[in-house]
Chain A
Amino acid sequence: MEIPYTSEVRPDTGLTNPKLGIWLFLASEVMLFGSLFSSYVLLRSGAPTWPVQHEVLSVPLAALNTVVLIASSVTMVMAWASLAPHTAAVTRGDNVAEGNALKRYRLFMGLTLLGGAIFLVVKAIEYVDKFSHHLYPATNNFLGLYFTLTGLHALHVIVGMIVNAYLWGPGTRMWRSQPERFANRIEVVGIYWHFVDVVWIFLFPVLYLL
């Protein structure tokens, strides 16, 4: 049984089901991170003293990570752009277009995965550095919030990477059988990946700079 509007757009709403679904999911994610940022504001504004954040944390490493994550968002768009214009050709059975598009897609999706991996490695270096200076979540509420917020964000990066890795590897089978649906999938995970990027763009100034 086919669910309607899984890959074609419903005319009166202008949406496919997965695209609507991911935006709804992101709405709940906004509320999750919104609640956590609100907790940060409340705890910090109620604290008699607060550490000077950029002295505790490493701004250069975080700046590097910001660049890496934004770059991975760009490669994510390019991964999608490698596929989207060619769906019609693949549906017609154009094997050359299919292969070339897939090759470009694999390259850019691979780079996106690499970006995510670099981000996590840098994050791990930062964590280990804090632990080696005996700075733990329990040390004070700033560090508690730092580890909770960045930890939850890193978890989002990991989930995104697992999905991306699937779509880079075994998931590509769908490109031949249902090219449009596969391109839509890349768009949808891309929307998620950009959201994870945006969360970091808020975390960076709030935790490192302000």
Chain B
Amino acid sequence: MRGHVLRRIFSTDHKVIGLQYGFTSLFFLLVGFSLVILIRWQHAYSGQAFPLIGSLLGEANAPGGIISPEFYNQLGAMHGTIMVFLGVVPLAFGAFGNYIVPLQIGAPDMAFPRLNATSYWLYAAGGVVMLVSFIVPGGAANNGWTSYAPLSDIAAGHGQTLWLAGMLLLIFSSLLGAINFIATIIQLRAPGMTWFRLPFFVWAQFITAFLLLLAFPALQAAAVLQGMDRLAGTSFFLPSGLVVAGQPADVAGGGNALLWQHLFWFLGHPEVYVLILPAMGIVAEVVANNTRKPLWGYRLMVYSVFVLGFLSFIVWAHHMFLTGMGTAISAFFQATTMIISIPSVIILSSLILSLYGGSIRFNTPMLFALAFMPMFGLGGLTGLPLGLSATDIPLHDTNYVIAHFHYLVAPGTIFALFAGIYYWFPKITGRMMNETLGTIHFVGSLICMNVIFLPMFIQGLAGVNRRLWDGGAIYSHAQETLSLNIPMVYAAFGLAFFQLFFVVNLLVSIRAGRVADTNPWKATTLEWTATATPPRAHGNFERPVRVYRDPYDYSVPGATAGFLAQNAE
């Protein structure tokens, strides 16, 4: 019995690992969300004790329940880190990729099952290190999620060092995962599953894996260098003549603080597309399935995702227009940034055009997928002024930036992830999630997210900086927009409330949901048509699979059925 339990925990089956990734990353999404509720309270009611649980935050963090500036900085840094590296990416890539990709390409498992398990456990270890850093003396990292040097180099305590250690573990995990995904998609496609018969979701995961593989090592290098700065006393990111707290810093100097920014954003920008591409893939699957017609411009979307992946490596310095790196370099990076918006717009437009003429089914996954499009579009369009160096100068580091990328990631990517959970839940459990609870979850989340993020554009345009403990209360230019913080905090509480509908729905439906048949959404892709629901424990397919058709053969003229499975002759 004990051996059995261990075999389940340290399973090498891609479906078990996918679920492990899924539940762990949902937990971290919850942690990251809790941190930001504290931040929103602090902005709205600066200097007032957090209600009910304020006293539980610890006397060092929140004396009398009032969030201290030091703790506030930890909240900001760790909210970003946890949401990006421990929440969204592992859910989008680790969980959905692991569970769905092998099924969709007709593979028995990932190419390297043991590596796959290693990847998950490294991720879990990285998560534990990040959580533990909250309870060490001095608390967690407090230098922003970007850990800009030299501040992060000289930060006291062990928080930043643990952050670096945690990041190294997460990077190893991602690299192993990326290698595994690429090898699986290249090598383990079923006979007949040619490249242009891959579902768009698989393409999105494939390009995402390349981004992780080639971009993350830059942060690996940066983390090693910053680790040396912090532990061995080197000065890679510490310039000569640095004065800390009125005292000349006792270091050799000669370093370059901008080097950190270059290395960080060389990862950081492709990472943005790591957050977005799997979401686009999920939305594409849900849209094709629920419009009952092929995706509009499938090949165009595939070419676009390639271009997007390539260009994402040469736009990173648009995060650095204010560093004085020179107009020639700024001109180059703003040109590439404008160009990269073209493939993004092509993909989004293709998804919207796919709706035209479809007989749309408005189920919960489709609602989330439909909301993804305008929300992602809003986030994308508001990014253009940040990509142009002239307009970025006044907007840089304001709440406008926060609003911009949260529209991409929160009602964008996270909505797509919800769509994916509602869509693939019957595949995983053999039961349906409740549609009524799902609709309440959707409507509530959509309203609350917009109430939280839309006012941030207004605050940002007024010039309110993004990292202020008091939300800008001491600045005269911020006064007129401060009152917006009050609806924002209540919307944050509301967002938490509406997530309860999701959590209850998820947990109850696992045991008590309506039993689903093999292919409840009448989908064409292999995970629904060639496997049992829920799929077999090991091996996935009872018979060898052969693929004869394109991924989205819905409403084929002349066909008797409304859809033709990929493995239908």
Pick from B111, B182, B222: contact of A3, CB below 8 A.
B111
- Complex: chain B residue closest to A50, CB-CB: B254
Question: What is the CB-to-nearest-CB distance from A206 to chain B, in angstroms, rounded to a whole number?
Answer: 15
Contact partners of B221 in chain A: CB under 8 A: 32-33, 35-36, 39
Decide: A13 and B186 in contact? CB cutoff 8 A.
Answer: yes
In the complex, B391 has a CB within 8 A of chain A: no
**B184, closest chain A residue (CB):** A17
Give the number of residue pairs across the A-B interface with Cβ within 8 Å. 129
Chain B residues with Cβ below 8 Å from A144 are 228, 232, 234-236, 252
Per the CB 8 Å criterion, the residue count for chain A at the interface is 38
B109 at the interface (CB under 8 A from A): yes
Instruction: Report the Cα distance A14→B250, complex, angstroms.
Output: 57
Give the Cβ gap from B568 to chain A, nearest Cβ, in Å: 23
Q: Which residues of the partner chain B approach A147 to less than 8 Å between Cβ atoms?
A: 228, 232
Residue among A24, A47, A136, A140 making CB contact with B182, cutoff 8 Å: A24
Q: Which residues of A contact B539 (CB under 8 A)?
A: 1
- How far is A140 from B235 in the complex, measured between Cα atoms in Å? 7
**Given known contacts A28-B175, A144-B232, A144-B234, is B187 in contact with A20 (CB within 8 Å)?**
yes
B149: interface (CB < 8 Å):
no
Residues of A contacting B266 in the complex (Cβ-Cβ under 8 angstroms): 35
Find A136's partner among B218, B233, B259 (CB 8 Å cutoff): B233
Give the segment of B209-217, B300-308, B431-439 that binds chain A. Answer: B209-217
Mask of B165-186 contacts with A, CB within 8 angstroms, 1/0? 0000000000100111011001
In contact, B224 and A148 (Cβ under 8 angstroms): yes
Q: Place the interface of chain B in its size category.
A: 35 or more
Q: Closest A residue to B539 by CB, please name it.
A: A1
B54 within 8 Å of A (CB atoms): no
Q: Mark each residue of chain B from 222 to 254: 1 if its CB lies under 8 Å from any CB of chain A, else 0.
A: 101100100011111000000000000001101
Q: How far is the CB of B149 from chain A (nearest CB, A)?
A: 12
CA distance A127 to B221 in the complex (A): 22
B39-64 interface with A by 8 A CB criterion: none
CA distance A4 to B256 in the complex (A): 49
- With contact pairs A31-B214, A139-B252, A140-B254 given, residues A10 and B187 touching in the complex (Cβ less than 8 Å): yes
Complex interface: chain B residues within 8 A of A42 (CB): 256, 259, 262
- Tell me, rounded to whole Å, the shortest Cβ–Cβ distance linking A115 to chain B: 26
> A: which residues have CB within 8 A of B?
1-5, 10, 13, 15, 17, 20-21, 24-25, 27-29, 31-36, 39, 42-43, 46-47, 136-141, 144-145, 147-148, 152
Beyond the given A3-B108, A17-B111, please list 18 additional residue pairs across the A-B interface where CB-CB is below 8 A: A1-B108, A3-B113, A3-B188, A20-B111, A24-B182, A24-B183, A27-B214, A28-B175, A28-B217, A35-B263, A39-B263, A43-B255, A136-B232, A138-B235, A141-B234, A141-B252, A141-B254, A145-B236
| CB<8 Å pairs between A and B, sample of 22 | A10-B187, A17-B183, A20-B111, A20-B183, A21-B115, A24-B179, A25-B175, A28-B178, A28-B179, A32-B217, A32-B218, A32-B220, A33-B221, A35-B222, A35-B263, A36-B224, A39-B263, A43-B236, A138-B232, A140-B252, A141-B236, A144-B252
